[in-house]
Amino acid sequence: MRLEGKTAIVTGGGSGFGAGIARVFAREGATVMVADINGDPAAAVAAEVGGIAQVVDVASGASVAAMTAAARDAWGRIDILVNNAGITHLPKPMEEVTEEEFDRVLAVNAKSVYLTAREIVPMMKAARTGAILNIASTAGLSPRPRLNWYNASKGWMITATKAMAVELAPAGVRVNALCPVAGETPLLKSFMGEDTPEMRAKFLSTIPLGRFSTPQDMGEAAAFLCSEAASMITGVALEVDGGRCI
C-alpha cells in the first residue's frame, strides 16, 4: 500500500500503459481518476479500479481545466499527476510528416504537460507536496529513424521534466519521467508501421532482455517514483526498457 490515501490523475488511463498505471496505483491504495479522450474505456478501467472516469482532451486547455475541476470537486486535492496520454505519427521520412500530424503530436505529447501544469501545479504548491510523472520514451534518449518528430516530442518531455523538477523542488513537488521501450499497447502497431512477426522480431532484437515493456512494468515503476519511497528522487528519466538504451 505504497500510495495509501493518495489521489491520482492518470491521463490516457483507458488503455495501454495508462491502464496499467491506474491498476497498480489502485492496488497500492490510491484513489484514481482515469482520464482519457475515449469515454468508454476510461469508464471500464475506472469501474475496475474503483476510481473516477473523466473524458479529457489533453491538448485542450478548457478540457484540462474541466478535468482538474472535477478532481478538485471530488477530492479537494490532487496528490499525483501522471501525464501518460500520447500519440505518434506513422513511421516515415521526417519531411513527409504533414503539418497536421506534427501539430497533433506536439499538442498531445508536449503542450499537454504545460496545460496540466498550469492547472495543477498551483494546487500542489499550495499544499507544499505533490508528485508529477511524465511518461516519456526511450525515443527521447535513443531515437529510432523515421519517427523523428515523435522522438523530438519525447525529448522535449524529458527536458521539461528536469526543468519542472528544479523549479518545483523548493515547493516540495517532485517531477520525474519514465522512459519505456515499445510495449504491448495500442501504439505498438503505429511505431512499427505494421504488426508482423518479422517487424516484431526486428524490434525485439534491439532489446537485450528480449521482450516488450508491459503496462504492469510501467505501473510498478510509476508507483515507486510517486511514493514516499522515492522522496529523494526528482528530475530523473528512468529507463524501463530492458536494456534498450545501453
Query: What tens digit of pLDDT does each residue of 13-68 get?
Result: 999 999 999 999 999 999 999 999 999 999 999 999 999 999 999 999 999 999 99
Residue 131 lies in domain: 7-237
Strand partners, 239: 179
Choose the weakest-confidence range: 61-70, 96-105, 192-201.
Answer: 192-201
| 216: CATH | 3.40.50.720
- pLDDT attached to residue 199: 84
- Cα separation, 224 vs 133, whole angstroms: 11
Q: Would residue 17 count as lying in a domain?
A: yes
Q: Is there a domain that residue 141 lies in?
A: yes
Least confident stretch, 168-172, 193-197, 210-214, 237-241: 193-197
Residue 229 lies in a domain: yes
Mean predicted lDDT score pLDDT of the chain: 96
Q: What is the mean pLDDT of residues 133-157?
A: 96
Burial 99-109 (b: 16+ CB within 10 A, else e): eebbeebbbbb
CA distance linking residue 141 with residue 74, whole number of Å: 37
The two beta strands, 80-83 and 130-135, are parallel
Is 170 part of a structural domain of the chain?
Answer: yes
Residue 244 lies in a domain: no
| Residue 114 is a catalytic residue | no
Of 162-171, 193-202, 215-224, where does mean pLDDT reach its minimum?
A: 193-202
pLDDT tens digits, one per residue of 99-142: 999 999 999 999 999 999 999 999 999 999 999 999 999 999 99
**How many separate domains does the chain show?**
1
Question: Which residue in 25, 150, 191, 212 is the catalytic one?
Answer: 150
Give domain status of residue 1, yes or no: no
191 pLDDT higher than 80? no
Whether 177 maps to a domain, the answer reads yes
